[in-house]
Chain A
Amino acid sequence: MTAPTALPMRLLKLLGSLRLTVVGLFVLLVLTIWGTVYQVENGLYQAQQKFYGSWYFLELGFLPVPGAKLVMTVMFVNMLAAGLSLALARRLQAGLALTHGGLLLMLAAGAVTFYLGEEAHLGLIEGGKSNSAQNARAWELAVAEAPSAPEREVSARPVDGLAAGQALPFPGGAFTVQVDEVLPHAGANALPAGAPKPAYRNDHGVAEVFAEPKPKEPEDLRPALKLTIRAKDQEEKIMLWGGDDVPTVVEVGGKKMAFELRVRHIPLPATIELVDFRKEMHPGTEMARVYSSDVIVRPAQGAERKVHISMNKPLRLDSFTFYQSSYKVLGDGREVSIFAVVKNYGRTMPYIATFLTAFGMLVHFGGRLLLRIQRNRNREARS
């Protein structure tokens, strides 16, 4: 081998070193145990963010600790480099290639879930139905024709990414939404009786919004927007706050349009209607032992079907999985069934990855076993 190729090969071997794999697996083990213990005191979200969603974090304020994102990226590179160096050395047999491919796919599945997956909730009272789930960690600006109706067209766009000065032409071109101010988290003051009308109108009665430090939990975020709605020969200034109970209605182009800041609505591939919610209590206590829901799934196209969802029997619908998460009893005694809805495009990837890895190991070790048997037979034949 010539000198120029020696350095890349050495680098490839270093990156693909088995020692790096072992260290990576050990750090992942430590992070998993540490994160599980941390979750008890600080909640699931904080633990997810600190240990699994970060490249690194500082412990005791100064000690950098690698996060699972960094460790898994390093392991992906390690696995890729190991496969490449074996291939270049012409030692990459079919079984090893399959196993490496499976492990790479497993790590890629983690990335797909992390970057493209979304978690939301759906709460339904018996008889209630919805074709969207809510992600309380993200907000969107939603606009629909007023008054509200059980079925309507809603145009929405994420609040993340909005900046003062942006002009957002509304679909159809009837008006433009000009963003005047964005507050990621805001408090609000009500309009005192007899006070002059504020420059920005709010139908909930909010007179002013003011920036506040972001809360610990993203579910507690309340953003605020100041907008100017511009249509032909018309301009109206409105203020929206995440705590508004009612949307702010503006008449533009002969239509009443309701503007609202709301938690992100994720469209579902079907309308889910709750038919019946059941719970069984532990004897003599108010603690639920088992709870489950009967729902009707009505896809946009195709026949409807009745599905039973219980704690260990989720409903799988395209890239969505619906878990029976919890329930709530309203003040008037009605029960709300709450589903955790997980959208994950890479849902099937871990299954394929596990199959590939297992099949690769079977081919590799099975092949070696057959080779050994063959050698033993040859040896016996010679003797």
Chain B
Amino acid sequence: MTKSKKTIATRWARGGLTLIILALLAACGGRDAGWTTTHEVYEQPQAPAAPHAGMPPMASGAMAPASGANLPPAADMALQWKTPEGWSETAGTGMRLVTFSMKQASGEGTCTVIVLGGAAGGLEANVARWVGQVGMKAPVDADMKAFIAKQEKFKTAGGFEAVAVDLGDLAPTAAPDSASMLGAIVDVDGATCFVKLTGPAGLLKGEKARFLALCQSLDRKS
């Protein structure tokens, strides 16, 4: 190899090596292992009628899961309930008051209790949304009204008006492993409490009585 060729090759090799070392250093530098102290500014206007009780959270991750954004927390609704037998309870986060999970031979299900201020869209709009969430075909307007009219209406232990909706009624011939939902909308002193149990249709059939018992047990925290 001639001297000029060697010089060019050496320059290229040096340049390439430097690039690789710089990239490695930068990659290692991105993984900070120590404490980082920052001056944080975080302020969101509070809802006029529903100030959050207790100590304000630190713009917490608890607010993020629903959308990944730092949404403001829901009002503390101070509800209590009776956990159905065989269900395991997990403490809630943000707008979610509590999560239950259950398991049977027919599959696993998850039940959540969420509270939003106001009417939160109303019964029909929410049922239409739920129908979409489990991949069912939404009934036409008149059929939707008839479907809702057939659903179970009751008062909970706290005297709250509630409607329980079984989306399984829309697809009575569906396979036991197809996705379905039991939902309840409870009017809690002007706010709306959503109780949703999702899982395979077979599981929901077996869990319906326990789901209704949970909804009926909703009461103000004593």
Contact = CB atoms under 8 A, between A and B. Distances in A.
Interface residues of B, number: 64
Contacts of B16: 80, 84
Contact of A205 (B13, B31, B47, B91): B91
B170 interface: no
Max count, chain A CB within 10 A of own CB: residue among B26, B45, B64: B64
A122 B70 contact: yes
A219 B35 CA distance: 23
Interface in B30-44: 30-44
Interface string B106-145: 0000000000111010000000000000000000000000
Contacts of A333: 118
Contacts of B26: 112, 115-116, 345
Given A244-B60, A246-B54, A333-B118, A128 B45 contact: yes
Interface stretch (B1-9, B148-156, B157-165): B1-9
18 contacts: A88-B8, A90-B8, A112-B23, A125-B44, A153-B39, A157-B32, A188-B91, A220-B65, A243-B92, A244-B93, A245-B92, A247-B57, A262-B59, A262-B61, A263-B64, A331-B191, A333-B118, A336-B69
Contacts of A111: 23
A148 interface: yes
A139 B70 CA distance: 14
A128 B44 contact: yes
Nearest to A5: B1
A189 B91 contact: yes
Nearest to A271: B41
A265 B36 CA distance: 11
B186 to A, nearest CB: 14
Contact of A330 (B12, B64, B92, B117): B117
Interface in A66-101: 80, 83-84, 87-88, 90, 92
B28 to A, nearest CB: 10
B67 interface: yes
Contacts of B40: 131-132, 144, 151-154, 265, 267
A126 interface: yes
Given A123-B69, A189-B91, 18 more contacts: A88-B8, A90-B5, A115-B27, A115-B30, A124-B44, A130-B41, A136-B65, A150-B41, A158-B33, A189-B89, A242-B62, A243-B90, A243-B92, A245-B93, A246-B55, A258-B55, A262-B58, A338-B67
Q: Which residue, B65, B69, B72, has most C-beta atoms of chain A within 10 A?
A: B69
A146 B55 contact: yes
Contacts of A147: 55-56
Contact of B34 (A92, A157, A188, A328): A157
Nearest to A141: B35
Interface of A: 1-2, 5, 80, 83-84, 87-88, 90, 92, 108, 111-112, 115-116, 120-132, 134, 136, 139, 142, 144, 146-148, 150-158, 161, 168, 170-171, 187-190, 204-206, 219-220, 222, 241-247, 249, 258, 260-263, 265, 267, 271, 326, 328, 330-334, 336, 338, 345
A173 to B, nearest CB: 12
A147 B54 CA distance: 10
Contact of B94 (A121, A130, A142, A245): A245
A338 B71 CA distance: 9
Given A88-B8, A158-B32, A219 B65 contact: yes
Nearest to B68: A136
Given A188-B91, A189-B89, A334-B47, A243 B70 contact: no
B105 to A, nearest CB: 20
A134 B61 contact: yes
B90 A330 contact: no
Contact of B30 (A116, A150, A206, A330): A116
B182 interface: no
Contact of B93 (A134, A152, A243, A258): A243
B126 to A, nearest CB: 12
A262 B89 contact: no
Nearest to A260: B58
B19 interface: yes
Contact of A134 (B47, B64, B117): B64
A263 B64 CA distance: 7
Contacts of A87: 8-9, 12
5 closest Cβ pairs, A-B complex = A123-B69, A331-B117, A331-B116, A263-B61, A243-B93
Contacts of B90: 187-189, 243
Given A115-B26, A243-B92, A334-B47, A122 B69 contact: yes
Contacts of B31: 161
Interface in B62-90: 62, 64-65, 67-74, 88-90
A131 B117 contact: no
Contact of A260 (B9, B42, B43, B60): B60
Nearest to B40: A154
Nearest to B98: A190
Given A115-B27, A152-B40, A189-B91, A332 B118 contact: yes
